[in-house]
């Protein structure tokens, strides 16, 4: 099972991070505690959305889509 997730910075709402993981709890702890170099500068974070998928390839494609221009627009419209 894979999870595509989107987190938003609490102090800087325009800052967000999209990721893919097989263990959401552990991955969020890394973001929240500053152990992830890409997200440590904009802490604290909040989970905006998590999408579970049994298909790893489909999850990876969805993650890449959310990182694209049209995917960012989709996320802004649907995930706030």
* pLDDT tens figures, 20-33: 999 999 999 999 99
pLDDT at 61: 98
Do residues 13 and 23 make contact, with C-beta atoms less than 8 angstroms apart?
Answer: no
Q: Which residues pair with 47 in a beta bridge?
A: 7
pLDDT at 80: 76
Is the pLDDT at 1 greater than 90, yes or no? yes
* pLDDT tens figures, 16-73: 999 999 999 999 999 999 999 999 999 999 999 999 999 999 999 999 999 999 999 9
Q: Which residues pair with 6 in a beta bridge?
A: 18, 49
Task: Provide the CATH number for the domain around residue 73.
Answer: 3.40.1440.10
pLDDT at 67: 98
**Nearest-5° angle of CA 35, CA 62, CA 31?**
10
Split into its structural domains, the chain has a count of: 1
Range of the domain at 61: 2-79
Sign of the CA dihedral with 31 first, then 45, 19, and 15 last = negative
How far is Cα 50 from Cα 55, in angstroms, rounded to an integer? Answer: 15
């Amino acid at each position: 099972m894979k999870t595509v997730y989107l987190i938003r910075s609490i102090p800087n709402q325009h800052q967000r991070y999209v990721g893919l993981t097989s263990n959401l709890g552990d991955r969020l702890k890394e973001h929240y505690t500053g152990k992830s170099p890409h997200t440590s500068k904009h802490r604290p974070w909040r989970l905006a959305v998590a999408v579970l998928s049994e298909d790893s390839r489909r999850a990876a494609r969805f993650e890449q889509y959310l990182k694209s221009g049209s995917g960012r627009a989709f996320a802004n419209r649907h995930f706030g």
